[in-house]
Structure 1
């Protein structure tokens, strides 16, 4: 599936959010040396349980209020995690050389 296959920009953004979250889980699996190819459903659940720390949100907000994690939707979680992740090792600057 390609982004162009989706009819609206909103659907493409949701696909992008899902792709980001999945890449975080895959990165965590690689760090733990877990195989992520040709898995059964039960193996997939096991790997996710071991790697879910990569997409967990803090229990409190920046203002020390309790976060309603059960009420968060996918776009909110993805946006929060993308803001927390550094973009580049050089402070966010992209080299043009």
Structure 2
């Protein structure tokens, strides 16, 4: 599920106004965080996740692991914020960040 450059540009534009939904601390990717990211992606399709990890390499690895676990695509990573996309199985027009 690779995104085209046009899709990424569109998602970055939509993601600019979004606030982070999930915050990941130095504890790592716990099961609760994974479940919350999965639920948020199913509801909103495009979300921001904030990582409060000191080391860049650890942060990038955590983002890669999380995207693999929840089967999502990384759209953009700026500082401590990751913009993540996954198409919903049954998108809700009232909740989806792509349909509003």
Q: Scaled by the length of structure 2, what TM-score is found?
A: 0.29
Greater strand content:
2
Greater Cα radius of gyration, structure 1 or 2: 1
Return the TM-score normalized by structure 1. Answer: 0.29
